[in-house]
Amino acid sequence: MPDDRDQGGLPAGATPAPGAASPMKAAQAGMRPPLPRRFYETAGVAERDGAFELVLDDRPARTPAKNPVAVPTRALGEALAAEWQAQAATIDLRAMPLTRIVNSAIDGVAPRRAAVAADIAGYAGADLVCYRAGEPERLVTEQARAFDTILAWAREALGAQFVLSEGLMHVSQPAAALAAVRARVEAIGSPFRLAALHVMTTLTGSVLIALAHAEGVIDAGEAWAAAHVDEQFQESRWGEDEEAMRRRAAREAEFRAAATIYALSG
C-alpha cells in the first residue's frame, strides 16, 4: 500500500523549509560524479603544423577520444584557452560550451561530415519559420517580422521558395527548396563550422535561422529571438516561468557559443 508521501520523499501536501533542497534534487546531486580538480596553472595556444592547439602548462590538451584539441584559427584557440583559464579549483565542462562543441567537432563531426550535414539539412522539411499562427493578430505580426526576412533571404540567396502552413498541419516543401538548403550545408567543409551549425539548428528548430545567422543576415540576438517568438508572446500574456527562463538562458548560452565558433573558425 503506498504511503502518504510525494515523489520527493516529503509527506503529501508538505512544503520544504525555506532554502532547503528537495530530497529528490539532493539525491540527484549526490549521484553526479565529482568534478575533476584543476591540474594546470596556465592555458594557452601553440601553433603546430598550421593548426592552433590548446595547451595546458605547455602540454597539448586532448579530446575525450584522445585527439589533440587543435583548431583552424588562433582566435578560436585563444577563446578556448580563455575558457580553460577561467576555471577555478575544479573543471566544469558544463560551463565550457566552446570546449564541448570543439570536442564534438573533432571526435564526432570530422569523421562523419556527410551524416551530420544530412541531419542539419533535414530540418528544412519542417522548418520553424514555415509554421505560422492564424491568430491573435499580434502574434501573426510578430512571427512575420521575425521570419519573413529569413524566408526572403532564402529565396534570394539560395533560390529556395518555401511553403507556409497555418497552425501545426504539416506541409510538404518543394524538392528544389530542400535541395538548395542541402547544397548550402554540404558546402561547409569545416567540421567546426558544421558542428556549430548543427548546434544552432537543433537549438532553434530551424536550419534557415541558423544559416541566415551564419551568413550574416541576422545577428545572434535576432536569431535567438526569432526562434522564440511564440514563447515570448505567451510570456507577455501570462507571465514568465522562472524554471523555463533558466533553461532557455542555458540554451541561449550554448547557441551563442556555437555562433562564436562558427565566426572564429574562419
- Per-residue tens of pLDDT for the chain, all 266 residues: 333 333 333 323 333 344 444 444 444 445 567 999 999 999 999 999 999 999 999 999 999 999 999 999 999 999 999 999 999 999 999 999 999 999 999 999 999 999 999 999 999 999 999 999 999 999 999 999 999 999 999 999 999 999 999 988 899 999 999 999 999 999 999 999 999 999 999 999 999 999 999 999 999 999 999 999 998 898 888 888 889 889 999 999 999 999 999 999 98
pTM score = 0.86
* All domains of the chain in start order, with CATH: 35-95 (3.30.2180.10), 112-264 (1.10.3580.10)
149 vs 123: CA distance, rounded Å: 18
* Contact between 113 and 186 (Cβ < 8 Å): no
Please report, as a single letter, which amino acid is at residue 35.
Answer: L
* Contact between 235 and 156 (Cβ < 8 Å): no
144 vs 238: CA distance, rounded Å: 22
DSSP state of 132: E
